[in-house]
Amino acid sequence: MVATFTVSYGVRHVRRHVFDIEETTLAEMVGGREVFVVADERVWQEYGTNIERYARGHLRLSGSARVSGQEHDKTLERVGDLCAAAFDHGLSRDGVFVGVGGGVTLDMAGFAAAIYRRGVRYLRIPTTLVGLIDVSVGIKQGINFHGKKSALGAFYPPMGSINDATFVSTLSRRHLSCGFAEILKVALVCDAALFELLEAAGRELYDSHLSSPVAAAEEVLFRAEAAMMRELEGNLFENDRRRLVDFGHTFSPLIEVASEYTIPHGEAVALDMLVSTALGAERGLCGWGVFGRLVECCRSFDLPMRYPLLLPTLLERALDDAKAHRGGDMNLVVPDGIGSGTFAQDVTGAELRAALRVVDAAAGR
């Protein structure tokens, strides 16, 4: 049996608020189909009235559900609850799950869409910085399970994403900081100009919730999204297990689990990048200057450089897990300069301990 098919989706950018009654992008994309909205509590509190008014004006709303948006609720049970709610509202097989929220919410809504009636359409509206530049580009939906981060899930392409940067203005500083961690990730291993832009304007962008300098804000969002797209395109289903965008994502899952998801994803990614870059410098894959510049960036975005659970045994376990997930190779991503990266194999416990000492020293300065 042979069948060929095409995955096609894109990111639409809106200038007005996506739920502004004059803004018809969402209505056009769902095209008269029934809609089931999954939004996180924070978003609902802030935009629920707008969403309801928009739905009355533009959508065939089947129903809606709210989720905490917290990592510890990203479970099979809670995704089941979303599906049960959609059945209770009678959402048909031609309906659309619309996820509105941060990465956690979008993962849950996307996985629910992937399994509801064996898969229905899914549309994403990210409301965090991570969502805008990272989640909105990919096709991975995942939930935490059995003590593992994103252990279950699906590669399930959405209809598309609607990116509305106005959401950034109401983000907490901590959410914003986590978004910058993901931007740093793609900048350091894929886009030198973006990294330099973050060095030059990052702090001001952070302090102003990306409202100033205006040109830099637009460029950062554009470059981060474009770099992610370049990296994912051609390897959407991860047949190639060497992925530069895994930078910062080798140790971080276990840090998150060990913290019982009290440390936000972006902060764990920052810690991971610091350790990985120190390791790279130890190996001579990149200069110590690269590590130093990353440290300064983390500092400017208030990203943590220390964490009590950042221990050699945990990191060793993370490398074992990575091997099981990356075709038997560690494929630890390390920068080999600003804007490019490579893959390290066979990292030893001694190397990990040395890297941790360096990170610790840098944090202590």
Q: For 24-92, where are the E strands, in sequence order?
A: 34-40, 60-67
- Can you tell me which of 154, 226, 314, 330 binds a second copy, judged by CB under 8 A? 154
Specify the residue, 137 or 355, whose C-beta has the smaller distance to a second copy: 137
Q: Is 232 in the site for a second copy (CB under 8 A)?
A: yes
Give the interface segment with a second copy, choosing from 42-50, 127-135, 137-145, 247-255 (CB under 8 A): 137-145
Give the interface segment with a second copy, choosing from 42-50, 115-123, 173-181, 199-207 (CB under 8 A): 115-123
Q: Which of residues 190-209 bind a second copy (CB under 8 A)?
A: none
Sign, CA torsion 186/190/196/199: positive
Q: How far apart are CA 172 and CA 281, in angstroms?
A: 33
| 344: β partners | 332
Specify the residue, 112 or 298, whose C-beta has the smaller distance to a second copy: 112
Q: Is 288 in the site for a second copy (CB under 8 A)?
A: no
Least Å distance between CB 90 and a second copy? 6
Q: How far apart are CA 269 and CA 185, in angstroms?
A: 8
- The two beta strands, 140-145 and 148-155, are antiparallel
Residue 34 near residue 95 (C-beta atoms within 8 A): yes
Q: Is 117 in the site for a second copy (CB under 8 A)?
A: yes
Q: Is 222 in the site for a second copy (CB under 8 A)?
A: no
Residue 75: Cβ-neighbour burial (10 angstroms; 0-12, 13-18, 19+): middle
| Number of residues forming the site for a second copy (CB under 8 A) | 51
Give the interface segment with a second copy, choosing from 82-90, 124-132, 179-187, 348-356 (CB under 8 A): 82-90
Give the interface segment with a second copy, choosing from 109-117, 277-285, 287-295, 345-353 (CB under 8 A): 109-117
Q: Is 330 in the site for a second copy (CB under 8 A)?
A: no
Residue 234: Cβ-neighbour burial (10 angstroms; 0-12, 13-18, 19+): exposed
Give the interface segment with a second copy, choosing from 66-74, 226-234, 257-265, 301-309 (CB under 8 A): 226-234
Q: Which of residues 260-279 bind a second copy (CB under 8 A)?
A: none
Residue 145: Cβ-neighbour burial (10 angstroms; 0-12, 13-18, 19+): middle
Q: How far apart are CA 13 and CA 129, in angstroms?
A: 14
* Positions that interact with a second copy (CB under 8 A): 1-10, 76, 80, 83-84, 87, 90, 92-94, 114-119, 137, 140-142, 145-146, 148, 150-155, 157, 229, 232-234, 236-237, 323-328
